[in-house]
Structure 1
Amino acid sequence: MNKYQHTLEKLENNTAKRSIALVIEGALIGVLAGLTAVLYRYCLTYAESGLYAVLNFIRGNAGVTALWFAALILMGCIVAKIVKWEPMAAGSGIPQVSGEVRGYLDQSFWRVILAKFTGGTLSIFGGLSLGREGPSIQLGAMVAKSYSRLRNYDKTTEIGLLSCGAGAGLAAAFNAPLAGIMFVLEEIHHTFDRTMLVAGLIATVCADFVAKIFFGQSAIFSFTTSTLALRYYWLLALLGILLGLAGAGYNFVMLKMQAFFHRLKKIPKEIRIAFVFVISGILGLTLPQVLAGGHSMIALLEHGKPELSMICILLVVKFLFSAVSFGCGAPGGIFFPLLILGAYIGAIFGNLSIHTLSLPNDLLPQFIVISMAGLFAGIVRAPITGIVLITEMTGNMHRMLDIAVVSSIAYIIANLLGSKPIYTSLLENILNKQTELEIKESAEKVLVTYVIPFDSPVCHKKICQIDWQKNTLVASIERDGHTITPKGDTEILPGDLLMVLIGRQYYAADYAAYEKLING
């Protein structure tokens, strides 16, 4: 371990300084990522407004309609060229950030930012059923990476800043700072690091403040919910089961659709994506509500009273078109569209429950809101993020128990069905399509933290009894507010925070090995 001695001494001297610097720079990253996400949000808002303006203009005019379809084909070809130029800009962006944090990917920040802005804006203007939230997370992370490279920071600091930027991007996209940091910890890091929690929270709060300057302080959703009597809580259990099944089904269809488009690789990507743009054009003339992110569908539930048959039609078409839009590889996320699907499942379930059990009509928004969180938990498998996200997006804390019940059940059902979290599966697909990342030999070490769960296979084992990777060193253990210098006979306990030094060259493989070792 002599080769690590200098690094370990430096670590002990600089850990406190690093934590303070990360917190301070987290605020700066929050502002920069927030401004980037705000600009992206503006681009997509104007693109969606322009889309519906065009659809209103061409209605009933065959000649202009033909020109619009020609424009859609052209936009599809341009988006395909953009994705071929920068493949990491395809899709959501969340798996790419997760892969970057784990050392599997090394994205070109300026290419991703440029491609995501142009490709994402064109995709929404073309009507594809994609969201802004995943791209905002990726853009925030890439802004943080550009700052890290500008300052020539080490990999450990860069990972911390990437996480701050990712959380800030989500916070600015949804006006949800707590959900931003929870998503980073729960979905990207899969661990609760105190320093990351504080730095990320500051970044997300700053990003949310920036977004509120431009978009105001009102909640994203304006549903007025009522209280569901406790004697009807069995309905929440049924709804949770339904959403767990729907979440597993959603993941299955999304991955199959992505695989289907991949099997068509002999057909030029320009034709594949342009074909989806043409489908968008047809839907724009027949069922325009399902286009783009789905804001018009939410507005219909918030301010209108659509018939149950129309709700069912919109749900099915939105689901299928979202699968096609995402499967073709265009830049854009699934975050907001899946919330729309959850809302419509809740609307159907609520309508049936109200009419069958003679419940008050004002309970319908309650079912809509909690179903968004439930489907999110079933698909993404991040229930805490879902609970916090929907609470922040509605500005209503009173429904947290209902949301938690449905989200927990949906999470359990999806797990029992063996459905993997969607972003985990998407990252695996990305890694399967690319060659192994080559990393130059380097003496640099990366500091990684792991929280030991109560059921971890390494619990109550001594350091010397664990099969550690040869290129790593357990640098310190934080326990009950105290820092322990580990020795061979040091016992690992539940709740310990392990700080592990990993050689930069072996970071990706060792990171994955330790996640499996610690979490089982």
Structure 2
Amino acid sequence: MTGNEQTLPPAAGNAFYRICTMTMCALVIGLSVSLAAIAFVEVVAWMNNALLISPRMRVQFDGSPWLITAATILVPAAGGLFVGVLLTKLSPEKRPLGPVDVLRGVQLAMPLPSARAGLLSTMAAVTSLGFGASVGQYGPLVYLGAMMGSALDRLNLRIPNFAAIAMSCGVAAAISTAFNAPIAGMVFAHEVVLRHYSIQAFAPTTVAAATGYVVANVVFERDALFLVQFAGVQHGYEFVLFGLLGLLAAGVAIGFMRLTLRCADIAVRSSISPVLRPACAGLAVAITALWLPDVMGVGQEALRFATIEGAFQTWELALLVIAKIGLTALCIGFGFAGGVFSPALLIGILFGALCW
């Protein structure tokens, strides 16, 4: 017998035991992560409404322009200051956590940062999004799902690769819940987190993703992120235009990534205290939002309107693309907690609408 076989109890070598245990764990992870993800999104939405960040509430208070102006200027900067204190003074990691930490944990078989660091990072992400920072919510949700999945590793079930599979289940459930897309959650967990397709992990991640979808779409009947009405391709030459648009969008994405790294480098080299860096980025968001309020927050309303022909003027689309790229890079580089997927999705849709 090998050393590994000697450390496992007799039941752990039984395939039926492993399948049943992993399935039950996947159900628990899928249910708990889905509820946590829904709570995350709802708290952010509530904060956006309470702090007059959301377009719907800004329209309701249209008769009080001074109140809208004050909220636009003060809220993002105050949120940045709170995030700076939260991460710099209280978090053991001194930075926001995200998908990179999940990849490191899975690929290098390393434990995730402490639960305290994870919870503080999640609180910082909720604050960043709730106070209108130009960041995304899916990066923090991915980490939250992985953190909750990894918590089951403390059960010491003696199943090979349990920690990696549990984290991938949490990620799959988070993506499935956020997008109402169980297949996307499962594929993301395999392609991005595990970096391979595993028979051992396929069933658990599928169960977790399906559970997240059922909770979000069936139990809570949550709306899809956005709906695209596609009338079909009318002419063959449009495929050539699609290809050209893809090349142009790739160039925009590369520029976006490089600018984000550049902003992070500028922040490190600057004399600005780490506590104040997010507040500086929040102030930049606030000043821009006085003229382009759609740059604040995730931008789901702008994302939905961009799919409607004629909702934005050409110059508005161009300004929004430029502002969203610059402000997202600034917010991420200067220490706000959040992801880049939601802003990248919005930038891509706005850029596509601009070109088309």
Q: Under a length normalisation based on structure 1, what TM-score does the superposition of the two structures give?
A: 0.61
Answering whether residue 291 of structure 2 is matched by residue 286 of structure 1, we say yes
Q: Distance in 1 between matches of 2:280 and 2:128?
A: 13
Answer yes or no: is 1:75 the counterpart of 2:79: yes
CA distance in structure 2 between the aligned counterparts of 1:89 and 1:132, rounded to whole angstroms: 20
SS at match of 1:123: helix
What are the equivalent positions in structure 2 for 1:235-254 lying under 5 Å apart? 235-254=241-260
In structure 1, the residue matched to 2:317 is: 311
CA shift for structure 1 position 13? 2.5
Larger strand percent: 1
Identity score, percent? 23
Q: Is the 8 A contact 2:190 2:197 kept in 1?
A: yes
- Distance in 2 between the 1:15 and 1:199 partners? 14
Match of 1:283, as an amino acid? T
Residue in structure 2 matched with residue 334 of structure 1 by the alignment: 340
Alignment partners' CA distance in 2, 1:259 and 1:213? 45
The residue that corresponds to 2:192 in the other structure is 187
Instruction: Name 2:124's counterpart in structure 1.
Output: 119
The one-letter amino acid of 1:36's match is A
- In the alignment, structure 1 segments of 5+ residues that lack a partner are 351-520
TM-score between the two structures when normalised by the length of structure 2:
0.87
Cα deviation for residue 135 of structure 1 reads: 1.0
- Residues in 2 aligned to 1:259 and 1:42: alpha-carbon distance in whole angstroms: 33
| Residue-by-residue CA offset, 1:360-419 (whole Å, 9 max, x unaligned) | xxxxxxxxxxxxxxxxxxxxxxxxxxxxxxxxxxxxxxxxxxxxxxxxxxxxxxxxxxxx
Aligned to 2:208: 203
Alpha carbons of structure 1 residues 307 and 9: separation in structure 2 relative to 1, 3 Å: same
Shift of 1:267: 2.5
Residue 152 of structure 1 is matched in structure 2 by 156
The alpha-carbon deviation at position 166 of structure 1 amounts to 1.1
- Go from structure 1 to structure 2 and tell me whether the alpha carbon gap of 1:87 and 1:5 turns closer, same or farther (over 3 Å shift): closer
Q: 2:236 aligns with which of 230, 241, 249?
A: 230
Cα 1:322/1:139, change in 2 over 3 Å: same
Contact 1:48 1:125 in 2 (8 A): yes
Amino acid of the residue matched to residue 82 of structure 1?
Answer: L
What do the CA deviations read for 1:45-77 (whole angstroms, capped 9, x no partner)? Answer: 212233234794796428x85587455444322
- 1:41 corresponds to which residue? 41
Q: 1:203 Cα shift?
A: 0.1
Q: Report the Cα distance in structure 2 between the residues aligned to 1:93 and 1:251, rounded to whole angstroms.
A: 16
* CA gap 1:118/1:6 in 2 versus in 1, 3 angstroms: closer
Tell me: CA distance 1:69–1:195, structure 2 relative to 1, closer, same or farther (3 Å): same
Q: 1:30 and 2:36 equivalent?
A: no
Change (3 A) 1:148 1:34: same
Aligned pairs for 1:76-115 within 5 A: 76-84=80-88, 85-86=90-91, 90-91=95-96, 93-103=98-108, 105-108=110-113, 110-115=115-120
Distance 1:312 1:280 in 2: 17
Q: Where do 5+ consecutive residues of structure 2 fail to align?
A: none
- Residue 236 of structure 2 aligns with an amino acid whose one-letter code is L
Do the aligned residues in 2 keep the contact of 1:83 with 1:330 (CA within 8 Å)? no
Q: CA–CA distance in 2 between the matches of 1:130 and 1:124?
A: 7
Instruction: Find the residue that maps to 1:286 and give its secondary structure.
Output: coil
Cα displacement string for residues 331-352 of structure 1 (whole angstroms, at most 9, x for unaligned residues): 11111111111101211221xx
Check whether the contact 1:254–1:327 (CA below 8 A) recurs between aligned residues. yes
The count of residues paired between Structure 1 and Structure 2 equals: 347
Alignment CA distance shift 1:187-1:281 (3 Å): same
